[in-house]
Structure 1
Amino acid sequence: METMSQTVQAVPAAGRDSALASHTELSNVYKKVTWRLLPLLVLCYAFAYLDRVNVGFAKLQMVADLKFSDTIYGLGAGIFFIGYVLAEVPSNLILHRLGARKWIARILVTWGLLSAAMLFVNSPTSFYVLRFLLGVAEAGFFPGIIYYLMHWYPSSRRGAILAIFYLAAPLSGVFGGPVSGYIMTAMANTAPFTGWQWMFLLEGLPAVLLGAVVFIYLDDRIDNAKWLTTDEKAALHQALDKEQYHAAPTSAGSAFKNLRTWHLSSILFLIVMAMYGVFFWMPTLVNESGIKSPLLVGLLSAIPYAAAIPTMMLMGRHSDKHGERRMHMICLCMMGATGFLLCVTWQSDTAKLLFALTLATAAVMAILPLFWTLPTAIFKGAAAAAGIALINSLGVTAGFVAPYMVGYLRDLTKSPNTALYILSTLWVIAAVLIYKVPANLTTSNKPTE
Structure 2
Amino acid sequence: MTTFHDSDSDAVHGLATRKAMLKLIPLMCAIYFMSYLDRTNVALAKAQLAADLGISAAMYGLGAGIFFIGYALLEVPSNLIAHRVGPRRWIARIAVTWGALSASMMFVQGEWSFYTLRVLLGIAEAGLFPALMYMVTLWFAPKDRAVAIGWIYTAPAIALVIGNPLGGALMQLNGAGGLHGWQWMFLLEGLPSVFVGILLYFKLPERPSDARWLSRAEAKALESRAVIEDHAGLTSAHWVAALKRPSTVLIGLIYFLNQVAFVGLVFFTPAMIQQMHITSPLVIGLLASCVGVGFLLGVLVLPRIHRRVKADCAYLGVLTAGPAVCAGAVLATSDPTLQIVLFAATAFFGGGVLPSYWAIAMKRLQGIHAAAGLAFINTIGLMGGFIGPYLFGMAETTTGKSASGFIVVFGAAVLGLLLVPLLARAIRTETQQPAEAAGALAQGA
Q: 1:127 aligns with which of 114, 120, 136?
A: 114
Instruction: Indicate yes or no: 2:185 matched with 1:208.
Output: no
Q: Which amino acid aligns with 2:284?
A: V
| Partners of 2:317 and 2:417 within 8 A in 1 | yes
Cα deviations across residues 50-102 of structure 1 (Å, max 9, x unaligned)? 11111100113122110111111111111101111121111101000000110
Cα deviations across residues 120-179 of structure 1 (Å, max 9, x unaligned)? 001111000000000000000001100111111121111111111100111001100100
Give the Cα–Cα distance (whole angstroms) in 1 for the partners of residues 228 and 106 of structure 2.
50
Q: Quick one: structure 1 residues 440 and 19, their matched pair in 2 at CA, closer, same or farther if it must change by over 3 Å?
A: farther
Cα deviations across residues 23-71 of structure 1 (Å, max 9, x unaligned)? 4443222110111100111111111111111110011312211011111
Q: 2:170 aligns with which of 172, 178, 183?
A: 183
User: Could you tell me which residue of structure 1 aligns to residue 251 of structure 2?
Assistant: 264
Cα deviations across residues 177-207 of structure 1 (Å, max 9, x unaligned)? 100000001x112023110000000011111
| Partners of 1:330 and 1:434 within 8 A in 2 | yes
Query: Pairwise mapping of residues 265-280 of structure 1 onto structure 2 (< 5 A)?
Result: 265-280=252-267
User: Could you tell me which residue of structure 2 aligns to residue 195 of structure 1?
Assistant: 181
Give the Cα–Cα distance (whole angstroms) in 1 for the partners of residues 401 and 285 of structure 2.
22
Long gaps (5+) in structure 2: 230-235, 432-445
TM superposition shift of 1:19: 8.2
Count of residue pairs the alignment pairs up: 424
Q: 1:412 aligns with which of 398, 410, 418?
A: 398
Give the Cα–Cα distance (whole angstroms) in 1 for the partners of residues 277 and 394 of structure 2.
22
Long gaps (5+) in structure 1: 1-6, 8-12, 244-248, 445-449
- Return the TM-score normalized by structure 2: 0.90
Give the Cα–Cα distance (whole angstroms) in 2 for the partners of residues 307 and 417 of structure 1.
18
Give the RMSD, CA atoms, in angstroms: 2.3
Instruction: Indicate yes or no: 2:157 matched with 1:170.
Output: yes
| Partners of 1:147 and 1:376 within 8 A in 2 | no
Q: Which amino acid aligns with 1:279?
A: V
TM superposition shift of 1:409: 2.2
Give the Cα–Cα distance (whole angstroms) in 1 for the partners of residues 261 and 416 of structure 2.
10
Give the Cα–Cα distance (whole angstroms) in 1 for the partners of residues 345 and 100 of structure 2.
34
User: Could you tell me which residue of structure 2 aligns to residue 54 of structure 1?
Assistant: 41
| Partners of 1:338 and 1:359 within 8 A in 2 | no
Give the Cα–Cα distance (whole angstroms) in 2 for the partners of residues 160 and 171 of structure 1.
17
Give the Cα–Cα distance (whole angstroms) in 2 for the partners of residues 90 and 337 of structure 1.
34
User: Could you tell me which residue of structure 2 aligns to residue 66 of structure 1?
Assistant: 53
Q: Which amino acid aligns with 1:290?
A: H
User: Could you tell me which residue of structure 2 aligns to residue 107 of structure 1?
Assistant: 94
| Partners of 1:20 and 1:26 within 8 A in 2 | no
User: Could you tell me which residue of structure 2 aligns to residue 222 of structure 1?
Assistant: 208
Q: Which amino acid aligns with 1:110?
A: T
| Partners of 1:159 and 1:369 within 8 A in 2 | yes
User: Could you tell me which residue of structure 2 aligns to residue 437 of structure 1?
Assistant: 423
What SS is found at the alignment partner of 1:289? coil
Runs of at least 4 residues off by over 6 Å: 16-20
TM superposition shift of 1:438: 2.7
Give the Cα–Cα distance (whole angstroms) in 2 for the partners of residues 46 and 17 of structure 1.
35
- Return the TM-score normalized by structure 1: 0.89
Q: Quick one: structure 1 residues 250 and 182, their matched pair in 2 at CA, closer, same or farther if it must change by over 3 Å?
A: same
Instruction: Indicate yes or no: 2:18 matched with 1:37.
Output: no
TM superposition shift of 1:440: 9.0
Q: Which amino acid aligns with 2:39?
A: R
Query: Pairwise mapping of residues 3-14 of structure 1 onto structure 2 (< 5 A)?
Result: none
What SS is found at the alignment partner of 1:338? helix
Instruction: Indicate yes or no: 2:316 matched with 1:341.
Output: no
Structure 1 or 2: more helix by fraction: 2
| Partners of 2:103 and 2:186 within 8 A in 1 | yes
Cα deviations across residues 306-352 of structure 1 (Å, max 9, x unaligned)? 23323322211121123443232222222211222222233x43211
Cα deviations across residues 252-285 of structure 1 (Å, max 9, x unaligned)? 2212322222212111110100111111000000
Give the Cα–Cα distance (whole angstroms) in 2 for the partners of residues 250 and 34 of structure 1.
34
% same residue? 35
Give the Cα–Cα distance (whole angstroms) in 2 for the partners of residues 310 and 408 of structure 1.
30
User: Could you tell me which residue of structure 1 aligns to residue 65 of structure 2?
Assistant: 78
Moved more, 21-30 or 355-364: 21-30
Query: Pairwise mapping of residues 293-304 of structure 1 onto structure 2 (< 5 A)?
Result: 293-304=280-291
Q: Which amino acid aligns with 1:349?
A: D
Give the Cα–Cα distance (whole angstroms) in 1 for the partners of residues 121 and 61 of structure 2.
16
User: Could you tell me which residue of structure 1 aligns to residue 388 of structure 2?
Assistant: 402
| Partners of 1:326 and 1:434 within 8 A in 2 | yes
